[in-house]
Structure 1
Amino acid sequence: MIGGLRLPQGKGGGAKRQVDLEAFIKNLENELKAQGKEEQRAPSPPQQKRKSSILDFMSAEAQGKGPSEAPSAKAANVARSEGAQKATPALAQTPPKAEERPEQKGVEKRPAELEWLRPSSEFYLESPQQRPEPSNWWSTQEDGYVDSARGYLLEVRYEGEVGKAVALLYDSQQGRVVKWVDRTGHKPYFLTNMPVEQEDGKPVVDLTKYKSFSNLAVVTKRDPLTNKDVRLTKVVVDDPLAVRTLRKVVADRGYKVWEADIKYFLNYIYDNLLIPGMPYEVSTSWSPLNWRRGEDLEKTIRESFPDDLKDLALDWVPIFEEPSPKVPKVALDIEVFTPGEGHFPDPSKADMPVMSVSLVDDTGRRQVLLLARDGAEFGGEEPPNAEIELFDSERAMLLEALRRVSRYAVIFTFNGDNFDLPYIYNRLLNLGLSPDDLPMTFLQDYVTFRRALHVDLHKLFDIKALQTYAFGNKYREKSLDAVAEALLGQTKYKLTKFIDYVSLEELASYNLQDAVLTMGLVTFNNELTWNLLVLLMRISKTGLEEVSRSQVSAWIRGTLYWEHRRRGLLIPSSDDIEAIGSQSPRSMAIIKDKKYRGAIVLQPPQGVFFNVVVLDFASLYPSVIRNWNLSYETVNNPYCSKFVEAPEVGHRICMERKGISSQLVGLLRDFRVKVYKRKAKDRSLTEQERIWYDTVQAAMKVYINASYGVFGNESFAFYSLPVAESVTAIGRAILLDTLKKASELNLHILYGDTDSLFIWDPPKEALEELVRYVQEAHGLDLEVDKVFRLVLFSGLKKNYVGFEGDNFVIKGMLAKKSSTPEFIKFETSEVMKILAATRGPEDLEKTLEALRDKVQEIYNKLRRREYTLDQLAISVMLSKDPSEYKKNTPQHVKAALLLIKDGTPVSKGDIVSFVKTKDRLGVKPVRLARLSDVDTSKYLEYVRSAFEQFLLAFGVKWDELAGVKKIV
């Protein structure tokens, strides 16, 4: 289509041809004039008003229209085939009304209010001089904000235009995000021990001369460290930025300040005790909207939860019982013209045209917007079930893409913070638009939308806690290709040549697949990722955009801040916590760069073992925090008279009152074990309910398993070295005591790591006795985690491979870096097939011989140069421009400099692929290298690091391999 018009196509779906655009438009204008005369004779339909600009269509959306249902593949194909058989192209037809569309099985229908809008094709036929300037419809309060709202709270922002907090709620009745400006009178502030006034009535510090100062107020808070009430002065300002200025003024006069470094939009959430992800109604105050209270759980909580957690648990039940909101979601991906292979476009400059934009929503609708640029040709198959449109104006294409995505509640990208959205934003500025013309805005360090929310999945899947506890370490690299292959079993589209030279159909297929994978990562496993996000929002008391870009320490901090406000507690400063728990640690770190000693890791044997049972302490460290009452205000607190001493380190733990961290971690731990793990398996519930509850327990697992480590992180707001040290010391004591009991029961312990034990061929009765002992002595559950039929230990710590059925678990035996050459990855998968064929001791000799042969085969292939340059390539991203490397020049930078010398522009962010060579420099970029340049001896080091540990398990040293050692 040209600006919403379909291009002519050969009959029978044959190859398309380029058309002369001027002749095409001239012909089309004549047709439009003739069509206009026909329309003059017919009465105009009511309420049909021509839109003067693309943003007028957005304005129509703002008044209640949302995204459409996806037209069926069959309907789309019919429309294309009809257009292909006409001598002259016809106008794109408006999609059929909802009641006329064919029913889509398995697709949830949108409310009737979400009728699709198609922009006037006339807009795109106007010349740039005739085209009206876009209108900034969202900047007026009448169009942009509502006085009252009902819906799911997704985010709170501070908007300088109105000088207030603005809440974004998804209204399911209207099918869109609405924006409500605060009417509660809330303002930014901080607390201080500075008196309001001196004895003579004059202010201690005159803050009235500062423009943003509002007023002072006296408040009473409970100090969690001393457990006493304190009277403090609340310094209220009109602008959040003024907090930074005035807190320094007050501190410079010798007074202490508290709660002065909390982001204002988070402060607003905490003060109003809001829970993002939950439904509310709001006008002049906030009220929960029909929360599910889980009355059926009250009996379970009363009977099985500790007394100090019963009431707190009942307050938290709605967080887990309220279903996740069903909001319209879309994935966006762009492709940009690049001047050469290996070059990565710079979004800050945005000096190259956007070639295509792909959109895929959660109903299955797939759209590709293509730019009819010079040199672009047709040829090849179209992506199936996709709507493809061709534009002669890059500006029109980008504005149309923004118009469409702005109708959704949440826009998902993969690396959209660093590339897609800033590129679109800056590209449109380069094309003559002003920031006010765009429905996008910069917030902190990312780009989002004024009327929608943006989630960058690259940052989300980079969160270590999610990678480990929610997705089971299924992916190691964080690229879209790697994550999608691990979680979806799908990969990116493989191009036949460099992207700038492929056909329009192939470009569409490549671009569309990225958007398909992005949306797939949101919706797979019954929207697991989306539901996890909602639950983490609720637990951490953090909005969607913030929680998806924060590490787990920020989530835990949010929960603690919110709970401090609920209890009327003063949030202590890091200096306060350090002062009260400043007793020097008595243990010594044995891990480099760590301030305290970690867990016990037993020295494993070297060998191959069959029937190995792995026992796991269920939530060891969270259970220690709960059972031992560990919290920043309970360890080494001089205001406590009743305490116990942590083993080995001697820190004193207060037992007079419950610690806030101990309670919250214990609450989530008990909810997971006693309620939601059971509900996830309850066959009396519907499948949808079980899936939801399984996600609930998974979110809790992510949270509680990351809860102990944050106390040893200096950047954590409640950093407390004595707490972190006590947790690991108690954990070590429990593991040592368990090992002692296992020895008494004649169990053969092969290996132990932090919270797990590897036991070789254990008798069932002895295992049951060990489990019973740990529960009675330490109040912990010892569970069977895995039963390996085969385990290979190299003799190194955290270094083994175990087979459970045909599945395997690898620790430390593979190069996990994204720079690992492809031939190593491939050959490793081949080695795993060899090992998997080992079924008993009688197969060991055959397995070892096959391993020897495989390593010899790899060596021979290297020597004969049978691997391609692409298979040997090492790919590394430039973290800065090559010219910025002054002293040490890494290998990938040397390769980049060779590319620049050859005339290929290379800069920060580009991926440099190179091979190791025999010349003085030692490297060459792939595009400049030949196979004869490759230094095979350097690649044998990769082979050795990848496969030597497998051989060690069989007692074979690398140097014992005949022939291979000769080229090292």
Structure 2
Amino acid sequence: MPMEKKKGKMPTLLDFADKRSQPNLGIEEIIAKEVSAKNEKEQMVHNANQSTRTTTESETKVVWYSIIDEAIINNAHLLSYYYDSERNTALLCFYDEDRNTLVYWYDKTDHKPYFIVSEEPTEAEKLIPKDLKGRVVSLERIEKVNPLSMKKEKYTKITVTDPLAVKELRGRFRDSWESTIKYHQNFIYDRRLIPGYKYKVSGKILAPVEIGSTSAKDLRTVFDGESEEVQRFAEELYGLFELPPPIPKMVAIDVEVYSPYANRLPNVATAPYPILSIAIAGTDGRKKVLAISYPHASKSPIKDKFLGEIEVEIFDSEHAMLMEAFRILGDYQVIYSYNGDNFDLPYLRNRARVLGFRPQEVPIREFQDYYTFKRAIHIDLYKVFENKALKTYAFGGNYRENTLDSVAMSIIGVGKVKIEESPGMLGISKLVEYNYRDAEITLALVTRKNFLTWKLLILLSRLTKTGIEELSRSQISNWIRNMLYWEHRKRNFLIPKQEDILKHKKEIKSKAIIKGKKYAGAIVLDPPVGVFFNILVLDFASLYPSIMKVWNLSYETVNPSYECRNLKEIPDVKHVVCMDRKGMTSLMIGTMRDLRVKVYKKKSKDKNLSNEQKEWYNTVQSALKVLLNASYGVFGSDAFALYAPPVAESVTAIGRFTIMSTIKKALALGLRVLYGDTDSMFIWNPEKEALTKLVGEVEKEFSLDLEIDKEFRYVAFSGLKKNYLAVTNSDEVVIKGLLGKKRNQPEFLKSSFSEVIVMLKEIKTPKDFSEIHDKIKDKVKEIYRRLKNMGYTLDELAFNVMLNKDIDGYVKNTPQHVKAALLLKNFDRRLVKGDIISYVKVKNKEGVKPVAMAKLSEVDVDKYLEIARTTFEQILKTINISWEDIEGVARLESFFGK
């Protein structure tokens, strides 16, 4: 049965294509004129079909815009929070498990923005200009503990009417504190609210739901002998971890837009081109694609309403399609996209406006640095999987590029549908397949392993006191800042400014080895060259967090400004740390470390628990790992609000001292240590008895745990630090520092490198080595010969690099892909941010040419040989093959015609 089309005639893509033949107009001008000319007609059609194509204004407000202020809420998880500028108050967003919907609560306590100054109230009042006095609510004398002096001190709290007043007033005083904290975050600190946690709301009262647990004995065992403060903090964290997160109704979307240019995303601000299709994949089983009729649709028609399991609905009107998409999305509480902040959401919003939608009919709203929905949470997974801490510690660093295709292939084993043409040139069935796959794999990145990604974000929200929308878009230094600020406010500590800390703790006493670093980092031993079988990697369990705990490292305890009875000197750097009282960071990081290592890593493998429980506890230990591994480094970054170089420098100094002492102990026990890196040691063919003794000695002397991290069948060392290839007994390949998988490498290099890796996995014993050695040598010789003989196509040789900004934005330097883009621009190609530039290296002044303008005879073969050498030489060294061997043999064989 043929599909029924939604009525309401709109200009088709054929209209746009016909206009391109006009010689004196660019495509943007043509589209602008076309949109302007059609707007009136579109509005007439819109009005004529009002009953079928849109809701009434009041209905739209109920579904998308009107937020109902709830006074009574049960079983609701706090997901996000905002500052509502219209009401001038804080707004909290909860997920109500009982009603399976989002509910909202406006502040009912009359909480106001404020900041803190040192002046007396009378003196402070004199400094406030007359035109701003009306925005000051009160000046109140308060007492806070200054963590840098550990004394109670008097300050003046200036409460104002709105957040902008803080910004306008703070510069009027000698000093101000807590004046750069965003108001909505300040509200969370003051109310001691925990994002991601469950609450019962009754009017003004927001009460956390008590979670009973029969496993409290775990804490008593682990923290027996610790201070009451540590035990209390452990109990607080335990409550966060024992409450499983809710699973709201979720959906992933992907939008395909017509563009007259290949490899270019249309301008989101003007949204000049039609939206071709919108794919929707929901956790409720919905698999749907909405599409408009367009000229090339008939190339591969759909005969009925479904393409496989995908429901397809085709519209004659783009306006009607958007209204239906907005209606469907109203069914979900959490909406996912991939790069939706930069493209899908702003394009949907602005395209709707171009088509004449009223503001209340568009469910998308813009914040300062992201887009979301008026009645749903929006999470852009690009920002999640781009996050360095999550990428490394939660997702195993399994992907190198942050594209949807690369991430999905690495994590779920399914990538994007490959297409040779732009979406607008595809037949409708191919477009639907391509579009839906993107939404499908986006959702799969969330739902895999029983919603691991979602649960991880909820846990991190709880730990870091950060709303899930903000957390998913910010770096880990912001998470740790929020976590520490929350604890400062709980303890009535003044939150110091960075310059306050640096007055007392600026001095760095070690010299950085790596250029650009401020102080000496971790120790890395020089590795040997060659292949070694039966390698055991010993790892200090959370070395740096353990050091912070054992040595009481915190910004207020290192080089203290107050009198201290018990000072301890840091090895090598001669900083001192006060051991009189527990440092805030030491307490928090140390407790989280113990919970991870001694409780949740064990629970995640406990055979007495259900698979669902074990998966949850594995998520807990993963979330803790993410935070713990970044906990020391933030203090060495001047972008961190509590930047304290001596803290970070002390951590690495103690780390160097510990690992060198451990290596000496290992050698004394007859263990052969081939390599050491930061917190791990590579030991060749170790004896079990010596290992057991080493572990015991380290635990006794340093209060640190040594554990087996990996068992490698063999490791191939190149002789360079942080540069090796290893294969585990389960055939997992671990590559450190080798360049073959580097993003943007030409396809011929990436595919060849992958082939070599497969060969290396085939080595099971030293006897296999000779055969594989020859195979690899032959493979690299083949690459050398093909390059010399121009045996690759331009596409195989092409570098594909995206413009991260408009061409005019590259001022200080001009990378090679920009040089190629400038050549395209000279030939009237309009290039903007987001365009993919495909280029090859050639023998001309610029050294590059776009693929579209290049000839194979122009290719600079020597440059490609140099790149091939850089890529493979490191592997070749590990198996005793020199690049000169490759060159010499290949030339000799070429001479004899082989």
Q: Which residue of 1 aligns with 2:4?
A: 6
How far apart in 2 are the matches of 1:947 and 1:785?
28
Tell me which of 339, 355, 363 is aligned to 2:276: 355
The reply to whether residue 598 of structure 1 matches residue 521 of structure 2 is yes
How far apart in 2 are the matches of 1:132 and 1:153?
30
The structural deviation recorded for 1:208 is 7.3
Q: Which residue of 2 aligns with 1:51?
A: none
The reply to whether residue 804 of structure 1 matches residue 728 of structure 2 is yes
Tell me which of 475, 485, 501 is aligned to 1:551: 475
The structural deviation recorded for 1:524 is 0.6
Q: Which residue of 2 aligns with 1:429?
A: 353
3-state SS of paired residue (1:829):
helix
3-state SS of paired residue (1:335):
strand
The structural deviation recorded for 1:549 is 0.7
The structural deviation recorded for 1:431 is 1.8
Q: Which residue of 1 aligns with 2:21?
A: none
874-883 vs 623-632, which deviates more? 874-883
Q: Which residue of 1 aligns with 2:646?
A: 722
| 1:131-530 correspondence to structure 2 within 5 Å | 134=57, 137=61, 144-150=68-74, 151-197=76-122, 203=126, 205=128, 209-250=132-173, 254=174, 256-298=175-217, 300-301=219-220, 304-305=223-224, 306-307=226-227, 308-377=229-298, 379=300, 383-530=307-454
3-state SS of paired residue (2:824):
helix
Deviations 1:718-762 (A, max 9, x none): 110110110000000001101111111121111100001011111
User: Is the contact made by 1:184 and 1:284 (CA closer than 8 Å) also made in structure 2?
Assistant: no
3-state SS of paired residue (1:310):
helix
Matched residues, percent identical?
45
The structural deviation recorded for 1:286 is 3.4
The structural deviation recorded for 1:203 is 4.7
Tell me which of 747, 754, 766 is aligned to 1:841: 766
562-571 vs 654-663, which deviates more? 562-571
**Structure 2: where are the runs of 5+ without partners?**
11-44
**Structure 1: where are the runs of 5+ without partners?**
9-18, 23-121
User: Is the contact made by 1:298 and 1:314 (CA closer than 8 Å) also made in structure 2?
Assistant: no
The reply to whether residue 620 of structure 1 matches residue 543 of structure 2 is yes
Q: Structure 2 vs 1, CA of residues 880 and 681 (structure 1 numbering), >3 Å: closer, same or farther? A: closer
808-817 vs 256-265, which deviates more? 808-817
TM-score normalised by L of structure 1: 0.84
User: Is the contact made by 1:959 and 1:965 (CA closer than 8 Å) also made in structure 2?
Assistant: no
| 1:93-108 correspondence to structure 2 within 5 Å | none
Q: Which residue of 2 aligns with 1:943?
A: 868
How far apart in 1 are the matches of 2:65 and 2:411?
43
Q: Which residue of 1 aligns with 2:49?
A: 126
Q: Structure 2 vs 1, CA of residues 888 and 266 (structure 1 numbering), >3 Å: closer, same or farther? A: closer
How far apart in 2 are the matches of 1:467 and 1:461?
6
The structural deviation recorded for 1:890 is 2.9
Tell me which of 851, 865, 870 is aligned to 2:776: 851
Tell me which of 638, 642, 648 is aligned to 2:561: 638
Tell me which of 882, 906, 913 is aligned to 2:838: 913
Q: Structure 2 vs 1, CA of residues 648 and 391 (structure 1 numbering), >3 Å: closer, same or farther? A: same
Letter of the 1:478 partner, please give it: N
Q: Structure 2 vs 1, CA of residues 799 and 264 (structure 1 numbering), >3 Å: closer, same or farther? A: same
How far apart in 2 are the matches of 1:888 and 1:724?
33
Q: Structure 2 vs 1, CA of residues 188 and 950 (structure 1 numbering), >3 Å: closer, same or farther? A: same
Letter of the 2:176 partner, please give it: V
3-state SS of paired residue (1:494):
coil
3-state SS of paired residue (1:153):
strand
Q: Which residue of 1 aligns with 2:35?
A: none
Deviations 1:685-711 (A, max 9, x none): 221111101100110111111101001
Letter of the 2:287 partner, please give it: R
Q: Structure 2 vs 1, CA of residues 125 and 913 (structure 1 numbering), >3 Å: closer, same or farther? A: farther
CA-atom RMSD, angstroms?
2.6
Q: Structure 2 vs 1, CA of residues 562 and 202 (structure 1 numbering), >3 Å: closer, same or farther? A: closer
Deviations 1:440-494 (A, max 9, x none): 2111211111111111111111111111111111111100000000000001011
Letter of the 2:262 partner, please give it: E
User: Is the contact made by 1:794 and 1:800 (CA closer than 8 Å) also made in structure 2?
Assistant: yes
Q: Structure 2 vs 1, CA of residues 922 and 965 (structure 1 numbering), >3 Å: closer, same or farther? A: farther
| 1:501-900 correspondence to structure 2 within 5 Å | 501-582=425-506, 584-639=507-562, 640-805=564-729, 806-885=731-810, 888-900=813-825
Deviations 1:756-788 (A, max 9, x none): 101111111111111111111111111111111
Q: Structure 2 vs 1, CA of residues 288 and 400 (structure 1 numbering), >3 Å: closer, same or farther? A: same
How far apart in 2 are the matches of 1:714 and 1:920?
40
Letter of the 1:283 partner, please give it: S
How far apart in 1 are the matches of 2:809 and 2:379?
32
Letter of the 2:641 partner, please give it: A
Q: Which residue of 2 aligns with 1:116?
A: none
Q: Which residue of 2 aligns with 1:71?
A: none
Q: Which residue of 2 aligns with 1:48?
A: none
How far apart in 1 are the matches of 2:54 and 2:752?
59
Q: Which residue of 1 aligns with 2:16?
A: none
3-state SS of paired residue (1:649):
coil
Letter of the 2:353 partner, please give it: L
How far apart in 2 are the matches of 1:578 and 1:463?
28
The structural deviation recorded for 1:123 is 7.8
User: Is the contact made by 2:299 and 2:426 (CA closer than 8 Å) also made in structure 1?
Assistant: no
Deviations 1:883-937 (A, max 9, x none): 4546754321232233334443221221111122344543332233344443333
The reply to whether residue 926 of structure 1 matches residue 828 of structure 2 is no
The structural deviation recorded for 1:874 is 0.5
User: Is the contact made by 2:114 and 2:159 (CA closer than 8 Å) also made in structure 1?
Assistant: yes
Letter of the 1:487 partner, please give it: I
3-state SS of paired residue (2:215):
helix
3-state SS of paired residue (2:664):
helix
How far apart in 2 are the matches of 1:886 and 1:778?
52
User: Is the contact made by 1:294 and 1:317 (CA closer than 8 Å) also made in structure 2?
Assistant: no
Q: Structure 2 vs 1, CA of residues 614 and 139 (structure 1 numbering), >3 Å: closer, same or farther? A: closer
User: Is the contact made by 1:194 and 1:204 (CA closer than 8 Å) also made in structure 2?
Assistant: no
How far apart in 2 are the matches of 1:801 and 1:141?
55
Letter of the 1:238 partner, please give it: T
User: Is the contact made by 1:280 and 1:286 (CA closer than 8 Å) also made in structure 2?
Assistant: no
